[in-house]
Amino acid sequence: MKYDLCVIGLGYIGLPTASIFATRGKKVFGVDVQKNVVDTINKGKIHIVEPDLDVLVRAAVQSGNLVAGLDPVPADTFIIAVPTPFKVTAENPRTPDLAYVETAARKIAPHVRAGNLVVLESTSPVGTTEKVREWILDEWKSLASGSASATNSARLSEDWIAKVQFAYCPERVLPGQILHELVSNDRIAGGLTPEAATAASDLYKCFCNSEIFLTNAATAEMAKLTENSFRDVNIAFANELSIICDRLKINVWELIRLANRHPRVKILQPGPGVGGHCIAVDPWFIVDSAPKEARLIRTAREVNDSKPHYVVHKIQDRAERFKSPVIACLGLAFKADIDDLRESPSVEIVHDLATKKIGKLLVVEPYVKKLPAALASFENLQLTDLPGALAAADIVVVLVNHREFSRVDRKLLSEKIVIDTRGIWS
């Protein structure tokens, strides 16, 4: 089988992308290092929660256009959509961790040919697309040195690598709305060369109904980081306001509602912190690249990272009024109506409360069936349903604005202490 596309990483980004290409007629081979992910997809099923993705994946697999496997295969285009977290190093506790991208690049290297297009979609520090090119060239060199094959020797020539196009195309989709936003969001195609940008733009035209803007790879990489840093800085402003308002005994939700009636003011909503593996992570990539210059971006991260501790203190303060407080913690996901708990401030808050043994904790998270590993071993904590938690609790803490929570009958809360970090009941 000759494949049009080989997509590396079949998570929240790679799987919808691979499936949408497949349903638009492309022959797609999806690769993931997790066997259970590969097996699930090959059965036409999904391993993540995302509206309508099950229908899309089933259609893609049943058409024969989407096949998953553990190792890359030759294709015209390679798309890399693997994680880009940060790691702790002696110099910087938040150093961008490009190990997944490097592994993916080195694994596709034996299959990359002159004329191919390699697209990086993972959110990455400036310069990573160039590194992908270097890792592939480096891999070619070691392949050529250990082999008498003419193809491998040919790959050593600058001519060959010059004929491979490399582009960075950031993904801007919102979990929960991925399938809609994949086709309707404007895109950026940043090439290491103008030809690469054009090739990437031509590729995404297959399903993208919106505009695709061409630029160089570094600008495209920085654009993605800038978008998430912009959000982080604005959320930090709202979070700081919420703390100031607590001190001044002002209702922050009303304050923001009123301030936003100004024609040029649009303040975001505060929350218990910032989670997910995008907004809470990506600004650090800018700080890592320009530590002296990125002062506001760093401070915003610090403000948002400190918000969960502030919420814990607030709960602790209210809990002191009870001998054996029962605390309902509503939500663990990092945002509303999804199952994603990564970098979630709600998990951090519940973990902190459990560690400090601040009462009995009844955790409600309608999108998960069992507690995450970080919370599973605490004896003073249990996952339960919403009616049970509300009936038993002295203190009700809203950590996530899931739709189900906003529909709660307020009469059930009249005798309780309510700490609503999302403003759904304000």
Ligand X SMILES: NC(=O)c1ccc[n+]([C@@H]2O[C@H](COP(=O)([O-])OP(=O)(O)OC[C@H]3O[C@@H](n4cnc5c(N)ncnc54)[C@H](O)[C@@H]3O)[C@@H](O)[C@H]2O)c1
Residue ranges in contact with ligand X by CB under 6 A? 8-14, 31-34, 37, 81-84, 100, 103-104, 107, 121-123, 171, 173, 175, 277-278
- Minimum CB separation of residue 81 from ligand X in Å reads 5
Q: Which CB atom, from 175 or from 359, has the smaller least distance to ligand X?
A: 175
Q: Which of 322, 172, 343 is nearest to 272 (CA)?
A: 343
- Minimum CB separation of residue 191 from ligand X in Å reads 19
- Minimum CB separation of residue 253 from ligand X in Å reads 26
Q: Which CB atom, from 32 or from 394, has the smaller least distance to ligand X?
A: 32
Known catalytic residue at 131: no
396-400-401-404 Cα dihedral, nearest 10 degrees: -70
In the set 26, 27, 224, 360, the catalytic residue is 224
Closest residue to bound ligand X by CB: 11
Known catalytic residue at 278: yes
Contacts of 153 (CB under 8 A, 6+ apart): 144, 147
- Minimum CB separation of residue 34 from ligand X in Å reads 4
Structure tokens at 96: 């961008």
Q: Which of 238, 242, 260 is nearest to 251 (CA)?
A: 242
Enclosing H/E stretch for 236: helix 217-248
* Cβ-contact 240, 300 below 8 angstroms: no
Q: Which CB atom, from 40 or from 242, has the smaller least distance to ligand X?
A: 40
In the set 169, 208, 278, 329, the catalytic residue is 278
- Minimum CB separation of residue 124 from ligand X in Å reads 7
Q: Which residues pair with 187 in a beta bridge?
A: 212
Give CA–CA dist 413/426, Å, rounded: 12
What are the DSSP calls for 23-47, one per residue? HTT--EEEE-S-HHHHHHHHTT--S
What are the DSSP calls for 66-87, one per residue? EEEESS---EEEEEE-----EE
CA atoms 412, 417, 420, 421: torsion sign: negative
Q: Which of 345, 332, 339, 341 is nearest to 270 (CA)?
A: 345
Q: Which CB atom, from 173 or from 212, has the smaller least distance to ligand X?
A: 173
Beta strands in 229-350 (DSSP E): 326-330
- Minimum CB separation of residue 300 from ligand X in Å reads 18
Q: Which CB atom, from 84 or from 216, has the smaller least distance to ligand X?
A: 84
Q: Which CB atom, from 104 or from 238, has the smaller least distance to ligand X?
A: 104
Q: Which of 106, 108, 94, 79 is nearest to 187 (CA)?
A: 79
Active site residues: 224, 278
